[in-house]
Amino acid sequence: MKQFEYFSPKNVVETCALLKEFENDAQILAGGTDVLIELRKSSVKPPRAIIDINRLNELKGITETESEIIIKPLTTHTELGSSSSIKKHARLLHIAAHVIGSPQIRNRGTIGGNIMNAAACADTVPPLMALDATVKLLSVNGERIVPIIDFFIKPYQTIAIKNELLMEIRFPKLLDSMKSMFLKLGRRNALAISRLSVAAILRKSDSGLIQEVRIVPGAAFPKWQRMTEAEKILVGQKPSKELFIETGKRVSEAMISFTGRRWSTEYKEPVIAVLVRRALETCQ
Amino acid sequence: MFEEHWKLVNENDMKKVTIHTSVNHKHYELEIKPNLTLLSLLREELGLTGTKCGCEVGECGACTVLMNGKAVNSCLVLAPQIDGQEIVTVEELAIGNKLHPLQESFLNHDAVHCGFCTPGMLMSAKDLLDHNSNPTEEEIRTAISGNLCRCSGYQQIVDAIQNNNVSPLKG
C-alpha cells in the first residue's frame, strides 16, 4: 500500500540519501505553491515521500563575486525582488520577481521551485536564460553544472533526474552598458499566469550602435529559447522603432513556425511582436 | 479532497509528525498527520475559524495569515512546515473586546461587506503596515493584490488601510 511520509532533512547529505532511497517516488517541497496544489488534485497519485528542504540553510540566500551572482534555490521571490545585487546587476530578473503571483505567493515561492517545476509560464526562466545562467545539480552520484538553456526538455520536464537536488543558480553580472527588461502580459493584474512574456538584454556601444542583444520569450514556445535569428537583425544597427517592430515580427514568425497555427495564434501573433518591441524600447 | 484522497490509501499507515510551533504567541506541541494544510490545522484542530477557507489554490487570499511576520496563503503551507515558526492569525488582532485600530478603520470606512475576505485583507494589510507605516495607494493595492473581494468593495478597503490610525506603538 502506498504511503505518504514527511521528511525534513537537516542537511544536503541527508536529503540526497532520502532522494536515493525513494528514487522516483519522492517529491521535494520548497515553497509549496505548486506542490500543494498538485497534491490536492485527486487525479494525481501522491508520492510516497514528501521531502521538505526548508531546513537546508545552505540553500538560502544571494551572494555575489566580482563577476557573478549566485542565487541559492530556496531564495523566495520576495527576497529576489528586494535584493540590491539583483536590482543592480540583473534588472530584468528583479522586475520578473515583482510580477510573479501575489505577495503571499512571492513570500513562499522560490526561484528553485520555479525552475524545477518547469511550467512554460515560469517567470524567472526567460530572464535567467537571457542572463546565460547555469544550474548546479547534486545527487549521491555527484554534482554537475548545466547551462539553463540545455536544462528544459518540455513543459514540466527537465533533464534533472529524480534524485537530483538543485544547489545553485549562477550567472555573470550584466555590464553597466547592458540594459535589460522583462515584460509580461497576463489576464489580470495580480496573480496572473503569464500568457506571454519577454526578457530582453541590449548592449549599445559608445557610438549608440547595438553591439549585443538577447531575447527570450516566455510561455510562447514548448521549450524556452533565445531568438537568435531575430537578434541578428539588430546587431550593428542603430536602434529605431522600425527596427524593433521588425524584430518583434521575426519573433512572432519564429513562434508560429514552431507551434503552428492554433486557436490562440490570432491573439498571440501581434501580442508577442508588441511585447518584443516594447521590451527593446524600454531596455534601460 | 486533499485529506480524503490520502485517507483512502493510508489512513492507518500515516506516520504522524510532532511539531513545536507558536500560534498567536501561544506555544503548541502538536502531533499531526503530515497531510494537513496549515489552514486545516488552524480551523479544524485549533478551532481558529477566523481564517477563511476560500479557493484552496492560493488565488483568493481568504486564508492569509502571517508566518514569521509575512503574509502567506495558509492553504499552501503544509502543517508540518510550521515547526519552529511563528504564526499569527486574525484572532490575534483584537485584544479582548477591543478591536485593533485596523479593524476599527475597516468598520469606519464601510470596508466590510459580506466579510468573507476581511480576515485575509486585514492580515495582508497588517503585513504591509508592519513594514511600512505610511504606504501610498499603489503600495496598498499591491499589498492586497493577492486578496479577492467578491463584493468588489476595494476602494473602501484601500481607504481603510490608507487612513488607518495604526501607529507603530499601537502595533
The residue to which cell 508588441 is assigned? A274
For testing contact with chain A, the best of B40, B76, B86 (most A CBs within 10 A): B76
> How does residue A42 score in pLDDT terms, banded at 50, 70 and 90?
confident
Q: Is the pTM of this model over 0.90?
A: yes
* Own/partner pairs, A34-38, CB within 8 angstroms, 24+ separation: A34/A109, A34/A113, A34/A117, A34/A119, A35/A113, A36/B37, A36/B75, A36/B76, A36/B77, A36/B78, A37/B57, A37/B58, A37/B76
Percent of chain A residues past pLDDT 90, beyond the cut? 77
Beta-strand pair A196-204/A49-52? unpaired
> How does residue A219 score in pLDDT terms, banded at 50, 70 and 90?
confident
Average pLDDT, integer, range A57-75: 97
Is the pLDDT at A64 greater than 90? The verdict is yes
Cα angle B116, B120, B125; round to 5: 130
Exposure on the CB side of residue A205, measured as CA atoms within 13 A: 9
CATH class of the B2-92 domain in this structure: alpha beta
Q: Which amino acid is at A273?
A: A
Mean pLDDT value across chain B: 90
Is the pLDDT at B168 greater than 60? The verdict is no
Percent of chain B residues past pLDDT 70, beyond the cut? 88
CA distance A255 to A119: 18
pLDDT score at A275: 94
Residues B118 and B149: beta-carbon distance below 8 Å: no
pLDDT score at B8: 44
Dihedral sign of CA atoms A225, A228, A233, A236 in order? positive
Q: Do B76 and A191 touch (CB under 8 A)?
A: no
For testing contact with chain A, the best of B78, B129, B158 (most A CBs within 10 A): B78
Helix (H, G, I), strand (E, B) or coil at A229: helix
- Give the model confidence (pLDDT) of B81-138 as tens digits: 999 999 999 999 999 999 999 999 999 999 999 999 999 999 999 999 999 999 999 9
Cβ-based contacts of A6 with chain B (< 8 Å): 15, 17, 34, 78, 80
Q: In what order do the strands lie in the sheet with A165-172?
A: A62-64, A68-71, A165-172, A134-139, A142-147
pLDDT score at A89: 97
Q: Where are the domains of chain A?
A: 5-52, 57-172, 178-281
Q: Do domains A5-52 and A178-281 have the same CATH topology?
A: no
Q: Do A3 and B10 touch (CB under 8 A)?
A: yes
pLDDT score at A187: 64
Residues B149 and B117: beta-carbon distance below 8 Å: yes
Which helix (H) or strand (E) is A142 found in, with range? strand A142-147
Is the pLDDT at A7 greater than 90? The verdict is yes
Average pLDDT, integer, range A230-259: 93
Q: What is the CATH architecture assignment of A5-52?
A: 2-Layer Sandwich (3.30)
pLDDT score at A190: 58
Is the pLDDT at B2 greater than 60? The verdict is no
pLDDT score at B1: 43
Average pLDDT, integer, range B24-41: 96
Cβ-based contacts of B127 with chain A (< 8 Å): 103
Q: Do A4 and B6 touch (CB under 8 A)?
A: yes
Residues A267 and A250: beta-carbon distance below 8 Å: no
Q: Which part of chain B has CATH 1.10.150.120?
A: 101-162
Residue A161: count other Cβ atoms within 10 Å of its Cβ.
12
Exposure on the CB side of residue A43, measured as CA atoms within 13 A: 0
- Give the model confidence (pLDDT) of A137-168 as tens digits: 999 999 999 999 999 999 899 999 888 999 99
Q: Do B75 and A36 touch (CB under 8 A)?
A: yes
Q: Which amino acid is at A168?
A: E
Q: What is the CATH architecture assignment of A178-281?
A: 2-Layer Sandwich (3.30)
> How does residue A248 score in pLDDT terms, banded at 50, 70 and 90?
very high
Fold adopted by A57-172: 3.30.465
Fold adopted by B101-162: DNA polymerase; domain 1 (1.10.150)
Is the pLDDT at B9 greater than 50? The verdict is no
Interface of B with A in 124-153 (CB under 8 A): 124, 127, 142-143, 145-147
Q: Do A107 and B72 touch (CB under 8 A)?
A: yes
